[in-house]
Chain A
Amino acid sequence: MEFYGTALASRLFLGTAQYPSPKVLCEAIEVSGTEVITVSLRRETSEGVGTGFWHMLRQTGARILPNTAGCHTVQEAVTTAQMAREVFETDWIKLEVIGHADSLQPDVFALVEAARILSEDGFKVFPYTTEDLVVGEHLLQAGCEVLMPWGAPIGSGQGLRNPDGLRAMRAHFPNTPLVVDAGIGRPSDAAAAMELGLDAVLLNTAVAKAGDPVGMARAMAQAVTAGQTGYAADPMPRRDMAVPSTPVLGLAELI
């Protein structure tokens, strides 16, 4: 599965906010082997993008996926994306249009509209959306080639609130790269997302706010690999009843 024509060995995307220090962040990026890091662009950022922090992020060698975090309208998101393209010299954009301040749920109507404008402008849009299939179709029609459904509200660490919805999404969009974005709290959540057949996991707080962010980054990378390998290995079906794992036929006759 390629993301806008780019093959990625690591299927863990890492956010760069809220770490105890840039040093810890860079170590977390390194041990996780992540190839894509998201950065949040705000007006303050664009004024000071030549400063040490951004230099450090560039030096990690990871591909930068700027986001439009905190944008609530189409216009805000489009302007932020255009600013990000200039500042970070990339046409990749993680598109967030927030509809609800408390749940940070995407405003899917504005999202589709912003995705259309940005795609026409040549952006490669990674939209933060819900697991709604119809919205997903509209996003593809708008020009998106990747979908990023939420696992749970941003920063909540609840894991996958609707695994059936994500499974349906996989079935409905078999050839579109799907990235679970937001809500991952523990390595088992990341593994579960990959076991559903999704293509990547994007997370931030789960690592940044862990007691040992570097240790958690390693664990998340391992979980993503485990889930991905497990899905590819075609897990056995669930059964209601026990099935002995040792052969019953040909048991030793003890008399």
Chain B
Amino acid sequence: MQDAPLHADPATFEIVKNSLYKIAEEMRVVLAKTAYSPLLKSAGDFSCGVFDARGEMVAQGPDLPIHLGSMPDAVRAVVAAFGSDVHDGDVFIHNDPYFGGSHLPDVNVVRPSFSHGRLLGYACLRAHWPDIGSATPGSYGAVTEIFGEGLRLPPLRLISRGTLNVDLEKVIFANVRTPDERKGDLGAQLAATLRATERLKALAERYGAEQLIGTMAEVMNYSERLMRAMLAELPDGEGYFEDFCDGDGIADTPDGEDAPFWIRMLVTKTGDRVVVDFAGSDPQVKGPINAPLSVSASGVYCGLKTAVDPNSFIPPNSGCWRAIEVKAPKGTVVNAEFPAPVVYANHEISHRLADMVMGALASFWPNQVMACSQGTSAILTLGGLDPRSGRRYVSYETIKGGFGARPTKDGINVVASGISNTMNTPIEVLEMAFPVRIERYEINPDSGGAGQYRGGCGARRVWRMLDGANATGALCMERMTSPPFGLLGGKAGAAAVVTLTTPGGVTRRLPSKGAFSAPAGSVVDMVVPGSGGFGPVDKREPSLIGRDLLEGYVSQRAARESYGIADPGVLKAAAAAEDKA
């Protein structure tokens, strides 16, 4: 297939390819501008894609790498469930990770596009709803079966030839908190997919359905060819990496401790293909941090794409991954079997795997990898009754840490890394929407791992529950006990720490996962992990240490302890003098 010649007309190929990616981008604009929940409209927790009639992803929007591997399954699930019983004006909805979803809060809206009765393909918009039911606001409770995680929707026909299935809609909105907000979000998903299918139809009218469908196949072949060409130019090799996760949120010992579990990865690159084998990884766990295989694949793809194609030449679509094989034994944490709960795994395991790919590749591609990034989505959900309006609310935030250090550069402070690229919610928007006050949002000094190139620092964010606003909170974090690793001599970044201080002034550390009660006046203080350093610490340029001291990214104590600088004051003064010159 990869040897087939390009389309006879190079201009048409390039134009149609670009148009398909523009369609995915336009979906993004429509969704963000019309959605209701801050998680979608401000933070951007969603992905858009254009798919062919078989459910292969032809173009993924510039959204979230987390959905690279699992988005195609979202449309394939609809194709598998409905076959040829798909009509103009239909819309499908589903969220079940055991039927092509990623975790229950990610709700897929899939809409077919037709031109003169011929099925061209599909538009799919996967959006993270801040709540999908379950016992915990935000649906992030530590439960032991998927039945406890919220409303499960296998692939269903929400709209049939333009007519809404009102009964289905009622079931959905009866099972989620803040249904009014969800209606706005679903409306935005419908609008964005409608825009995309209209654009596809216009392309078919312009170039002919045959030509469009042929070009869609070629766009995927094109990505495959590029991926294989880039792989072939890199050295062959084999790398092993193992790492442990903090736990699954379910107590494993009588005193309530959560036991860690291990993931083991062997990456083998031969010629123009890569095999990633998870043999030896731990069996699936009780709590909701079990990854369906497609979620694991997303993490692997994200890490490999960054390493193989560091300048982003290859358009992301299903073709990219034909050269990559992911093998994982069934029933392990990276290939979960029904009815294991999964909600945390979507981001926590895929974050982990993207970082681990870098660790495994470091032995044979030392110039194409980065040290471990924050490695967690650092999620805090809060929910309850807003005393200012009397309305129920659910807040969902993901806080950023460090972006790993590179072979030639420091990491980046507090920016989305790896499989994530959501935005923060502005403090002023958050406080107007929910009964909380942010008391601190800042860069946490000394959290970037030391090295020739320093890891990026993580953030610290502090929430206070307003008077009269008793809340139920839930955390979903990793890297509290397993700090982000450094590479090739670089040190680990700082681990995550979250504390809860009650109105009575008692402070305790919160476990990395699960619900907790946050009464009015209590304070949640979250320190997000920094990232690992790269290269030996003693090779760090002293003037860079001086600059970090001047900016306060590194303290004098850390300069002494981590970098072995006898008198940091001298370096700092030198940096200050240069600044004033």
- Specify whether A and B are partners: no
> Which residue numbers of A lie inside 8 Å of B, CB to CB?
none
